[in-house]
Amino acid sequence: MSLNIDQDRLLSDIETLSSFSEADPPAVTRIVFTPADLKARAWMKTRCEEAGLTVRHDAVGNTFARWNGSDPAAPVVGTGSHIDAIPNAGKYDGVVGVLGGLEAIRTLRQSGFRPEHSIELLIFTSEEPTRFGIGCIGSRLLSGTMSPDAARKLTDNDGATLDEVRHRACFGGELEQVKLPTGYYKAFIELHIEQGPLLGRQKIPLGIVTKIAAPASLRVLIEGSGGHAGGVLMPDRRDALCAAAELILAIESAARGSGAIDTVATVGICDVFPGAVNSIPSRVRLSVDIRDTDLQRRDVVMRALESTSAAVAAKRQVSIQTELLNADAPADCAPAIIDALSQSCRQLNLNFLSMVSRAYHDSLFIARISPVAMLFIPCRNGYSHRPDEYAHPDDIARGTLVLAETLAALAG
């Protein structure tokens, strides 16, 4: 079977999808359930139907576009990713996996291939945590990792609940119906830009992911005592920002000292009150993200955060409260799918790198209910979540071709 990816069509689709945005080009902002997101969803539905796929969506807006196989009772072979984008993002994150998945299916259909197992493109809802403060809402619900009751408690910055927002977007039904039945997927593959520099540095065109790191997300509230910058003497100070600075550096040190390159920790938000140059900070809120492919190593960093918080609180006479938002387990990719991807690369004479994903993706949660793997393509300088995010057209087409070959091998 000879497959030919229509690179021009694929690139045109990527450009068109990037136009559904709340930001001026080249930036893309597409927050879940906003007008830009709903327009993008409608356009995607049309493109899938034009490709001859049957489209449905569930109660939270996860969208399934299926090419029916000859055995309707057989488990499905799936692929896909997400199309929501954080503020001031690029046009490739998630999108390559969605439109590459669509192009892979179109290519297989046009080649005359007929699958035994149905092949399904899945567009996940709210992979990014921008609106509701937690990522991968759609895949968490699909896998049962998040309960419907927990999802109903989610609110956005305006206080609107997930139920209110999804109903306004015309996604009805009960969240209890979102979880997929056991054995729904035979295999699931997510094509994605690397969001890191390794493939580009080593000039290797493809990465086959063996492990997906998982995050622990925490909020930290530090409360001290404010006052006039000139009136409160240094021995009397309970400066919340100085306490936060000690804590931030301790988190960095714990991650660096884990003994493994795969341990990473980030304080991404430092909200200081009252925020005046001549006023001692009395309150600081931090957001903390700790990730690893190894659960025990990650938890060592989390325990270091707890012990350092207690020590800094006592030393600086401040209050430090930590709230754990989520602590997900890492995932191993399925050897059978890794082998299928590897075979496709070899058949096409393409070099590849076995690697881990330090960013987490919807596949992390689909791995709870299905064998999964991920296929990475390079992105320039490893840049992602910024307007100059870029993947070369040849790399996109190459990844899509390997995806198509592997879907065919798995679907029979």
Tokens standing for residue 389:
């995010």
Q: Is the peptide bond before 72 cis (omega within 30 degrees of 0)?
A: no
* Cα→Cα distances 103→332, 347, 382, Å: 27, 20, 24
Phi, psi of 55 (to 5 degrees): -110, 135
pLDDT in tens, the chain (412 residues): 789 999 999 999 999 999 999 999 999 999 999 999 999 999 999 999 999 999 999 999 999 999 999 999 999 999 999 999 999 999 999 999 999 999 999 999 999 999 999 999 999 999 999 999 899 999 999 999 999 999 999 999 999 999 999 999 999 999 999 999 999 999 999 999 999 999 999 999 999 999 999 889 999 999 999 999 999 999 999 999 999 999 999 999 999 999 999 999 999 999 999 999 999 999 999 999 999 999 999 999 999 999 999 999 999 999 999 999 889 999 999 999 999 999 999 999 999 999 999 999 999 999 999 999 999 999 999 999 999 999 999 999 999 999 999 999 999 9
pLDDT at 263: 95
In the block, tokens 């240094």 appear at 234
User: Which domains are assigned to the chain?
Assistant: 7-213+330-411 (3.40.630.10), 214-327 (3.30.70.360)
pTM, two decimals, is 0.92
Q: What is the residue whose two structure tokens read 């997906």?
A: 212
402 token code pair = 């390997």
The SS3 assignment for 333 reads coil
